[in-house]
């Protein structure tokens, strides 16, 4: 009986961990508000940060082998992420309205996520203390 209980607990914990991991194995791009979120969480970063932080956007441009262009840097970044020049991944519509798209977690999207978060930290340094 004790072994069955331990097995049941192990399966439950493993199932929860699998669900937790699965929840974060993609990014969601909101094309209306130009936000990038981890999975379906509220852990989001605004693409608008790229405008004041364009001097820090080189890692994104290198990863995507494309330039983030004026006059609308955030929209340019969104288009770049939705359709990478090298077609290394495809964005998938998450709803019928075309507002939300699912992007895979990969080298390119991780660089975009990390760079936007670094720009956020540069703009708002006191929030990290």
Mean pLDDT of 16-38: 78
Mean pLDDT of 23-41: 93
Mean pLDDT of the chain: 86
Using the structure block, give the residue that is written with the tokens 């082998």. 65
Residue-level pLDDT at 127:
67
Strands 44-46 and 26-30: unpaired
Q: Is a pLDDT exceeding 60 seen at residue 21? A: no
Q: Is a pLDDT exceeding 50 seen at residue 72? A: yes
Q: Is a pLDDT exceeding 80 seen at residue 63? A: yes
Whether 94 and 101 have beta carbons less than 8 Å apart is answered as yes
Q: Is a pLDDT exceeding 50 seen at residue 111? A: yes
Per DSSP, which regions of the chain are E strands?
26-30, 35-38, 44-46, 92-93, 100-104
90 or 19: whose pLDDT is higher? 90
Mean pLDDT of 1-9: 45
Residue-level pLDDT at 126:
83
Q: Is a pLDDT exceeding 50 seen at residue 13? A: no
pLDDT tier, 129 (very low <50, low <70, confident <90, very high otherwise):
low
Mean pLDDT of 116-125: 96
């Amino acid at each position: 009986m004790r072994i069955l209980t331990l097995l049941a607990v192990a399966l439950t914990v493993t199932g929860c961990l699998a669900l937790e991991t699965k929840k974060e194995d993609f990014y969601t791009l909101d094309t209306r508000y130009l936000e990038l979120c981890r999975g379906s969480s509220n852990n989001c970063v605004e693409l608008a940060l790229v405008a004041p932080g364009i001097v820090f956007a080189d890692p994104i441009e290198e990863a995507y082998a494309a330039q983030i262009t004026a006059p609308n840097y955030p929209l340019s970044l969104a288009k770049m992420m939705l359709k990478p020049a090298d077609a290394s991944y495809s964005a998938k519509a998450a709803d019928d309205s075309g507002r939300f798209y699912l992007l895979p977690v990969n080298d390119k999207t991780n660089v975009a996520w990390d760079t936007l978060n670094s720009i956020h930290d540069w703009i708002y340094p006191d929030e990290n203390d």
